[in-house]
Structure 1
């Protein structure tokens, strides 16, 4: 029986790449894209500049890889929650909680992504905006499928499920954006429950 084991060389390559991405995240979050040089990233990751360029040909490529890596991790976690074999209300509640947990674990990356996705840090011609939008559309479709399931079970009002997905994202993202602007501000599980109830109040059948 064959096993797909990764060689020691490949393991080292993955580990070194992750060191670089971690260093880049810290520097970009602290100083902003334009104020960080590849030399600084190499020094932070404790690699020679030549080694850094073996992994990433330019700062733009490094930045794009960093954001897309974090975006895939973020969305994959949310897909798992949305695919759980639970009732619709529990899935929605778990989804909102998961977004806040991800915020706690990835505040720096999320802030970097939000600033970058405004167009400040990348050239639209790279296709970066298309990749991000594609991921987000996939997430919205997953949420809409959950809403559609709730409609078919007569739990949720018979409203356009995609619009409900947009509404859920709008409510949760508004609160998360506010937290990003006020990182010293704290929140509790009660706050998350209130946000969830705000959405459910509008979509659940009375």
Structure 2
């Protein structure tokens, strides 16, 4: 039955799992993935090592689950925006705003992810990058659908394939996000129209 409340035991298990992942994220971000042991994660989360292993059989699986869960959260929020109300421009503008907002709220995780998952120590860790890429490709498909709608309705010029337009816009957004990640505090344009205008209008005077 939809909306049924989980039994207390299940709620407790979910809470414990989340506390373990939160503790692991803090340790990985502070010391680096390779410098953290499962015993340290157990101590930080205030659970026994036995309880920790009931949730995660090894450190690689713990890291993979951390990445996948954060990726799922990000993906769900982006889908909500892209499938939400508004015309094509409004949804693109909201996508730019929401992506910056979720990055700002996840700076610790994203810095860890970029350093550990796409960095020189890529191998192992349950290969979570494959799961992340699936979700990224789905988002690009949804962005492409918005561009296709805009072209079909005559709002956008058909400058290229919708998928290429989606990649171009998302790459522009990511450029601003990566720049912001390198600053303290994280900085990102407050008005999404800045990025959208650069992409849609360009810098050449007509």
* TM-score normalised by L of structure 1: 0.90
Matching residue of 1:197: 197
Matches within 5 A, 1:121-200: 121-123=121-123, 126-158=126-158, 159-184=160-185, 186-190=187-191, 192-200=192-200
Matching residue of 1:13: 13
Q: Which shifted more, 102-111 or 175-184?
A: 175-184
Q: Contact 2:59/2:125 (CA < 8 Å) preserved in 1?
A: no
Matches within 5 A, 1:31-50: 31-50=31-50
Q: Which shifted more, 177-186 or 55-64?
A: 177-186
RMSD, aligned α-carbons = 2.1
Q: Contact 1:60/1:122 (CA < 8 Å) preserved in 2?
A: no
Cα offset, 1:179, TM superposition: 1.3
* TM-score normalised by L of structure 2: 0.90
C-alpha distance in 2 between matches for 1:40 and 1:64:
18
Q: Contact 2:64/2:126 (CA < 8 Å) preserved in 1?
A: no
Match of 2:180, SS? Answer: helix
What are the ranges of 5 or more consecutive residues in structure 2 without an aligned counterpart?
none
Cα offset, 1:193, TM superposition: 2.9
C-alpha distance in 2 between matches for 1:92 and 1:105:
20
Q: Does structure 1 residue 96 correspond to structure 2 residue 96?
A: yes
Residue deviations 1:121-152 (CA, integer Å, cap 9, x gap):
45369453322211111111010001111111
Matches within 5 A, 1:60-79: 60-79=60-79
Structure-2 change in CA distance of 1:8 and 1:83 (3 Å): same
Structure-2 change in CA distance of 1:92 and 1:24 (3 Å): same
C-alpha distance in 2 between matches for 1:125 and 1:53:
16
Residue deviations 1:28-67 (CA, integer Å, cap 9, x gap):
1111101111111111111111111110011110000001
Q: Contact 2:63/2:125 (CA < 8 Å) preserved in 1?
A: no
Cα offset, 1:9, TM superposition: 0.7
Structure-2 change in CA distance of 1:85 and 1:167 (3 Å): same
C-alpha distance in 1 between matches for 2:3 and 2:153:
43
Aligned length: 202
Higher helix share: 1
